Structures are given as C-alpha cells and as structure tokens.
Structure 1
C-alpha cells in the first residue's frame, strides 16, 4: 500500500472518524451481538460511535487517523489516556447519549461490556477502545501502522485492549500484546482481553 499519513484527530474530524469506524466494524461479531438482531446497524452504531468520540476519546485520550496518499481516511484508532476519565457530570451526559443511541440494546451492551471490564488492569494504562480499517484497505498494513503509532505514543506506559476476532488478536500478539483471558468463552462474539507491559512503575 502507498505510504500512510497518521495524524491526531481534531473536533472537525468527528464525522470522518465515525464513518471509518462504522464501515470497519460492520461485520464485527462482538458489535453485532451487542446491538442484537432486532436493531439496524446503520441506525445504532454510527450514533454510538459519535457519542464515544465526542464524550470519551477526544476529550480524555487521542484518536489517530490513517490516510492514504489521496488524503482519504482508511483507518482510525481511539485511545483513552492513563488516569483520564470523565467526571460524574460528563459520565452522566455520555450515558444518557449512549442510552439514546443503543435503545433496546442498552442492557445487552452493558452486560457484555461488564464481562470484559472485569479483566481490565486496575493500574494506569493506555486503553485502545477501537481500531478499525475500512474493508478495501484491510490486509495492507494499515492496522499495524496505527498500532505501531499508538504504542510509540504510549511510551513506557502499559497498554490494554480487547480483541474481537482471531485476525486482530494475531496482529496484537505480533506487536507484543499478551492474552489475559476471554469474556463470553465459547461464544462467536467472545473478546480476548490483552495487555502490553510498560516500564512505568505502578
């Protein structure tokens, strides 16, 4: 693939980030299981991603965008920074918007998220919430480039993520992430929780 340009998203990039992630996660087993069979993907997922971008990852972390040589966004990675979390007012606002986005799927989403939350590290770390590459750019090194960039930005801090496909797990393992265990073992939508050790003393 032609050289990529990776940059940090700004508020004006929200629509583009949401579009990339919506396209990237269209066949993701965990995402489809979370919204359930009675909800339309195109109605729920873009709204949920917009909330997460605006209320969590932009203000409390970093979003990286990968563009091809034509300037077209082909991938995005959303990281939450160590020790940075919304306060109770911001959390309440985010939860209200997520409730509106998920609708009848809210309880299912919360249940699935709680299972993986139990395996998340309790010490400060960078959290990779989402890494997605649009279909036509998959298999061309975009995900690896985004991950390398994120790891470099994390520096000596540990990093944590949840992998929802065997292909993504293989990529993360090549980049030094270690499986910690799976939530919903034996299910098609099981996520594998993974972390990459850091050098910062805890």
Structure 2
C-alpha cells in the first residue's frame, strides 16, 4: 500500500485521483465518449479516464472508496465531501491539524497554490498565483469609507489571472490601517472582484 497526501474538498462530492497515484496492479475500465467538458480550478480542460474502487486507510480507518481517475491533477488525491464527513471530525485551522473520526490527529500540509510547472514559464505566461508571501498588485475601483471597528466589501482589479491569495501584505493595504480577510480568489485580468476588509482602528 502506497502512502499519499490527500486534499480535502467539502463542497465537491466526487473523490478524485491522479493516474500516476494508482497502484501498479490496478485495473481501470476504459471509457468511451462523448465526454463532458470539465475544467479544474486553474481553468485547464481535464477529462476523466474512468472510475474504480480502492481500499484506503486513514490512520486506523480502512474503507472501500470509489474514485474518478484523471490525468495530471494538481493534487494527486482529493477526497470529496462524502469521505470528509465519514472520516473527519473537525479541522483546527489555527493548530494546523485535522481531527479524524477515530480521535487521531494529522497535520495540515501547506503547499504553494500554483499550477504544475507554472514557475518554469516566462513571467508573462504564468497563472498569477502567489508564492510564499508575495502577492500580485491589486487596485481598488472606487473610494470606500470603512468606519472604525467595522468591515466592508471593496471592489478591486488586477492584471493577473488565476488563483490569488489575499493577505494583509498586499500593497493595496500598506498605506492604510485596513486588514483584509485572508482567502483565495480566482481573478481575471482587469475584471472586478470583491474582497472583504476590516478597519481595526479605535
């Protein structure tokens, strides 16, 4: 049995696995078209290669799980909301750990939110995902007054494309006493998106 690091998706019900992560002795049924058009979070076309049932072990829990197989997934294994509800009891974000249904605790592994091999490309062809603490430059589309000790939505744009992490280190907030709610947003060049900011001044 090979060991894999899995991603968790509480909104999507299908369990996904990359072709390279399958056991060497697997039997994958062939599928014939037409195939539905599907895109991943980086807007790249993907097509499922079939489905099969695998026996997985999460610490002390062993179960048969049905996976849909894809090729060249960013995360090699993704557990859908069905598996998450069955195996996971709680996610402790501050402690960076996941509490399983059997009481065991496993750490959360953080990785850069970037397309595969994205940083081998020229800067003009990259997806625009941030790496480490660096963030693409964003600009507000209009002036918004945020009273002290309150939060408000701000409309902004950027020249980048792809998934972007909004964090307090963004240049947009360096000259103001404002702090954004950290999160991930999918952006398009020069298209308006919303970010939630708060004014923590007295």
The answer to whether TM tops 0.5 is no
TM-score for both structures, normalised by structure 1 = 0.23
Question: Which structure ranks higher in relative contact order (CA pairs < 8 Å, sequence separation ≥ 6)?
Answer: 1
Q: Which has the higher helix share?
A: 1
TM-score for both structures, normalised by structure 2 = 0.23
Q: Which has the higher strand share?
A: 2
